[in-house]
Amino acid sequence: MEAYGQGIRAGADLVICPEMVLTGYPPRDLLLKSHFLEECLHHLQSIAEQTGPVGLIVGTLDRNASGAGRPLYNAAVLLQKGKIIAKRYKTCLPTYDVFEEDRYFEPARDNTPIAYMGEHLGLTICEDAWSHPLAIHESHYGHNPLKKLKDQGASLLINIAASPWQVGKVAVRQRLFEAQSSELGLPVLYVNMVGGNDELIFDGSGMFVDPNRGVVAQSSLFEAQHLWVDTQQQATASPPEGPDVLDEEGQIIKALSLGIRDYVHKCGFQSVLLGLSGGIDSALTAVIAVEALGPEHVMGVAMPTRFSSEGSLTDASKLAETLGIRYEEIPIDPAFEVIKSSLSHLFADKAEDVTEENLQARIRGTTLMALSNKFGSLLLTTGNKSELAVGYCTLYGDMCGGLAVLSDCPKTMVYRLSRWINRAEEIIPWETIEKAPSAELRHDQKDQDSLPDYATLDTILKDYLVEHQSIDSIVSKGHDRSLVEKLIRLMDLNEYKRRQAAPGLKVTSRAFGMGRRVPIAQRFREKSDPT
């Protein structure tokens, strides 16, 4: 209603809000709660009663009163002069990746333009605009709802959306809406959600698209913003300066910062803490957390053992000082020795191995969780996608926490983002970026003792997990067959770890989390072509 008031004061004839603006997206199984729907309907009516001559379009839910099909509609509602003037429902219900709308909603059977102030508004919702060859995912809808509205006399197309961000998505959206506008010969207004909801990050970047000139007005990325458009003059007016263009690294950092801030605040926290090891993953996580919340709300904790290098502690302390965050050192060797002693009668005839390495990680996890409980701060995990893919992480150890900030960032991306952070001045110590990565759980340990170099690992990870390529196809690109088979086996076997991991922020087209549906207890294993 504050946004609606600003629209009125600015002289707008119509104010448009995103898809599901009353509920957040995706509401998931909240939609199974009858009281949730009743609350939405109650607040929608309350908002309608506050409207005047200026129309307000709101994304919300509606009941399917037909008695057939799913009980709910994903709805766009036009409110004006104290009343609900018109309702339109989503036609194309996405059921891929993170989307599962067919689980809850009934698709619209028809959609007609709405007469409003001399225009005929073709009102659609998110996926309705993606039934087009330029869509990221192959269209299975068999029709284009926007074209149907044009054929029925629409003069202006409006698409309200809750479209999650991922690397490259902004450019794809722009091409999509420019193509739709050009092919249909109609202007398009696009309004997208902004903010973080659990694993998903919404970037906003609303736009007005003219069929002859393309995008002529666009809002900034990752910021809640009003974009004022005069649809009758914009097509001929000189376009205003667009928002500051962020490069890919800048977009990722802004997305992760927004994801942290909204997750922390929406879950009722004010501050975060993390293990600060002197490594690149925790350093990058700390930088993004400070951008999201401010240094006064971030604490870094170093937990050295006899295996920790002096350089790692120096790097951790230096980073904390640069960022201005609280920094604590808590040696865990005493706890490590006590637990080893208590197990010595059982382990007497067994050599030390990964058990003792994992024990150190679990002591660190326990220590951080104790601090989280005592101070009411959310614990951030710092592992990256490459490690999570192959299980190079410890359950109930470095996987402890409430939010996995980098879990969709491959290690090579972590390096790229860290160098971007340091593009103007040293924030992350260069020693942290340039030294060989190590978990420091045994003497002279390096990640590459167990894994290939990260450039190779990330390439194979992308081919297998994102592109779903076979072993033979990956090997044909020049990779060693035994290495490919080993890594794919690790990726498959460690699904049980990923199922127990903290929620992670999604920034790529294929993340671990709500969009991944792989069984844990299964015997299928990827094999080479038997021929």
Cβ partners under 8 Å of residue 158, min gap 6: 16, 57, 121, 122, 123, 124, 188, 189, 191
225-234 own/partner pairs: CB under 8 Å, 24+ apart: 225/194, 226/3, 226/6, 226/7, 226/10, 228/10, 228/12, 229/189, 231/119, 231/156, 231/187, 231/189, 234/187, 234/208, 234/210
Nearest to 275 by CA among 392, 388, 451, 405: 405
Structure tokens at 478: 């020049």
Q: Per-residue pLDDT tens for 188-238?
A: 999 999 999 999 999 999 999 999 999 999 999 999 989 999 988 865 555
DSSP-derived pairing of the beta strands 403-404 and 272-275: unpaired
Q: Is the dihedral of CA 506, 157, 40, 8 positive or negative?
A: positive
**Which of these is catalytic: 17, 90, 119, 357?**
90
pLDDT at 70: 94
For the chain, domains (ranges, CATH) are 2-243 (3.60.110.10), 251-447 (3.40.50.620)
Question: Is 90 an active-site residue?
Answer: yes
Question: Is 248 an active-site residue?
Answer: no
Angle at 462 between CA 457 and CA 467, to 5 degrees: 150
pTM for this predicted structure: 0.92
DSSP-assigned letter for residue 1: -
Question: Is 385 an active-site residue?
Answer: no
Q: Per-residue pLDDT tens for 245-289?
A: 689 999 999 999 999 999 999 999 999 999 999 999 999 999 999
Instruction: Please provide the size of the chain in residues.
Output: 531
Q: Largest Cα–Cα distance in the chain?
A: 86
pLDDT at 404: 97
**Which of these is catalytic: 17, 19, 385, 387?**
19
**Which of these is catalytic: 17, 126, 400, 409?**
126
pLDDT at 445: 66
Those residues of the chain that have pLDDT short of 50 are none
Q: Is the dihedral of CA 424, 429, 435, 438 positive or negative?
A: negative
Distance in angstroms (rounded) separating the CA atoms of residues 75 and 80: 16
Burial of 436 (0-12, 13-18, 19+ CB in 10 A): exposed
Structure tokens at 164: 């999650």
